[in-house]
A and B are shown apart, each in its own frame.
Chain A
Amino acid sequence: MLKCRVIPCLDVKDGRVVKGVNFIDLKDAGDPVESAIAYDAAGADELCFLDITASHENRGTILDVVQRTAEACFMPLTVGGGVRTPDDIRNLLLAGADKVSIMTAAVHNRDFVREAAEKFGSQCIVVAIDVKQVAPGRWEVFTHGGRKPTGIDAINYAKEVVALGAGEILLTSMDRDGTKSGFDIILTRAIADAVGVPLIASGGVGNLDHLVEGIRDGHATAVLAASIFHYGEFTIREAKQHMKTAGLPVRMD
């Protein structure tokens, strides 16, 4: 039976982890590779790196991080942040990423999604969608960390990128992100039910019940969280045990 996935996400800037992992005695809490190894050992189902490097000159640092991670961890790795061209995707895949997530570039040019899926296969193209509620039952796609509205309806957009070849949706509620008040379940379910591809719920996880709600009520197939894992509030194993007790299928290998 297919298990639901628990995915820790690390923000990486200039090759270093921002908001470093401090749940375990790492020699260097800023080294993404060390954090990746720790999560691999802890039973994470996938790992996500979000590259938030601002300067163009340092964009290459993520490739080195991905390459070193792939040498040490034999688990699936998704990398996103600043992916704008087919060459960006190719370089990340060659470095060892299994999936690449596209956000702003897909908003500005939908054809990029089609091109990416045709060239590299839908299975490795994740479209990340940052969303804010603009009216009851209406959500809009935002860019620039939730600061820039696009006027695009989130549900229609999700359907559109899936039709163009996206193999997975990474949905983040910018209303909930950082609030620890749980996923926006109505939003998550609306999009999960509207598309035929797997959906990763993100934004707002503050406790383990939230993870259960994302899957059970939000119909997501995977849940992504950062701070509850990085700061050692809960281990991956505790999260999975909690989900298992709630009756969800999880991998406890």
Chain B
Amino acid sequence: MSLAIVDYGSGNLHSAHKAVERAAAQAGITVTVTSDPDVVRRADRIVLPGVGAFADCRRGLDNVVGMVEALQESVISRGTPFLGICVGMQLLASRGLEHGVAEGLGWIPGEVVAIEPKSIGLKVPHMGWNTLQPLRPHSLLKDIPTGENGLHAYFVHSYHFCATHPDMVIATTEYGEALTAMVGHDNIVGTQFHPEKSQRLGLALIGNFLRWTP
């Protein structure tokens, strides 16, 4: 079994790579960081990381010739399990409004908009450890304690995903309002938080992704 982490020039792939590798070692899965669309096409699982601004990341993805097509083919046509992380999750939206309007992949309808602090003293970016409120069961959250007394996930973002269909929001996190923490449908899932930086919760979630059969 093989897993491809898509390299499109967006930031910190090293941590994502090492975290996935640690979880994958036990499962006997080969992890490759790649900018080769053919490697992505052949992979049994795909991770799309992303750090930085939405529009920049979209440009970066478009600059890898054939990558968006390879992702469409694998994830949409063939149903390959897909995990987007942070901006890699936001890119699932129809469009993002950070530094101008940019088109997303449109796999999960919605927009990525600026966080407007809902009370005095709330800082943006939403930065640090927060708990998850699951709205529906999902295999990636299996056996992970959630809710106010559950484990914490590490967030750092100034924009958030407003999904058109509420049933595609899997979990939220409380920050003056319920911000989208996790989206998904069918074989597609995305986390606003960084599993690769979220210690116990993160490694458990990545382990669940490796075992997931959507």
Give the B-binding residues of A (Cβ under 8 A).
1-5, 40, 45, 67, 70-71, 74-76, 93-98, 118, 120-124, 167-168, 196-199, 219, 221-222, 251, 253
Give the chain B neighbours of A4 by CB distance below 8 A. Answer: 128
Contact of A98 among B18, B175, B197 (CB under 8 A): B197
Q: A3-B152, A199-B123 are in contact. List 6 more A-B contacts (CB 8 A).
A: A1-B148, A2-B174, A4-B128, A98-B194, A196-B123, A221-B128
Number of interface residues of B (CB under 8 A): 42
Inter-chain contact A122/B197, CB cutoff 8 Å: no
Inter-chain contact B11/A93, CB cutoff 8 Å: yes
Give the chain B neighbours of A253 by CB distance below 8 A. Answer: 129, 151-152, 199-201
- 12 CB < 8 A contacts A-B: A3-B128, A45-B129, A76-B154, A94-B11, A94-B13, A120-B51, A124-B51, A167-B127, A196-B123, A219-B121, A222-B128, A253-B201
- Give the A-B contact count at a CB cut-off of 8 A: 113
Give the A-binding residues of B (Cβ under 8 A).
11-15, 18-19, 22, 51-53, 56, 117, 121, 123-131, 148, 151-152, 154-158, 174-175, 194, 196-203
Query: How many Å lie between the Cα of A94 and that of B194 in the bound state?
Result: 16
Inter-chain contact A5/B158, CB cutoff 8 Å: no
Give the chain A neighbours of B151 by CB distance below 8 A. Answer: 253
Contact of A70 among B14, B117, B154, B156 (CB under 8 A): B14
Known: A124-B51, A196-B123. A2 touches B175 (CB 8 A): yes
Contact of A121 among B13, B51, B124, B127 (CB under 8 A): B51
Inter-chain contact A74/B152, CB cutoff 8 Å: no
Query: How many Å lie between the Cα of A15 and that of B194 in the bound state?
Result: 27
Query: How many Å lie between the Cα of A59 and that of B32 in the bound state?
Result: 30
Query: How many Å lie between the Cα of A45 and that of B51 in the bound state?
Result: 20
Give the chain A neighbours of B203 by CB distance below 8 A. Answer: 74
A-B pairs, 5 with minimum CB distance: A121-B52, A96-B14, A198-B123, A251-B129, A123-B156
Give the chain A neighbours of B12 by CB distance below 8 A. Answer: 93-94, 96-98
Give the chain B neighbours of A95 by CB distance below 8 A. Answer: 14
Query: How many Å lie between the Cα of A45 and that of B152 in the bound state?
Result: 10
Query: How many Å lie between the Cα of A253 and that of B152 in the bound state?
Result: 7
Query: How many Å lie between the Cα of A118 and that of B99 in the bound state?
Result: 9
Query: How many Å lie between the Cα of A45 and that of B155 in the bound state?
Result: 12
Query: How many Å lie between the Cα of A222 and that of B121 in the bound state?
Result: 13
Contact of A120 among B52, B126, B157, B198 (CB under 8 A): B52
Give the chain A neighbours of B124 by CB distance below 8 A. Answer: 196-197
Give the chain A neighbours of B18 by CB distance below 8 A. Answer: 70-71, 74, 96
Inter-chain contact A96/B15, CB cutoff 8 Å: yes
Query: How many Å lie between the Cα of A185 and that of B130 in the bound state?
Result: 26
Query: How many Å lie between the Cα of A22 and that of B53 in the bound state?
Result: 40
Query: How many Å lie between the Cα of A76 and that of B199 in the bound state?
Result: 9
Inter-chain contact B19/A198, CB cutoff 8 Å: no
Query: How many Å lie between the Cα of A45 and that of B127 in the bound state?
Result: 11
Give the chain A neighbours of B125 by CB distance below 8 A. Answer: 122-123, 167-168, 197-198
Inter-chain contact A5/B128, CB cutoff 8 Å: yes
For residue B29, give the distance in angstroms from its CB to the closest CB of chain A: 18
Inter-chain contact B14/A5, CB cutoff 8 Å: no
Contact of A2 among B13, B14, B128 (CB under 8 A): B128
For residue B140, give the distance in angstroms from its CB to the closest CB of chain A: 17
Inter-chain contact B158/A221, CB cutoff 8 Å: no
Known: A196-B117, A197-B124. A74 touches B15 (CB 8 A): yes
Inter-chain contact A197/B123, CB cutoff 8 Å: yes
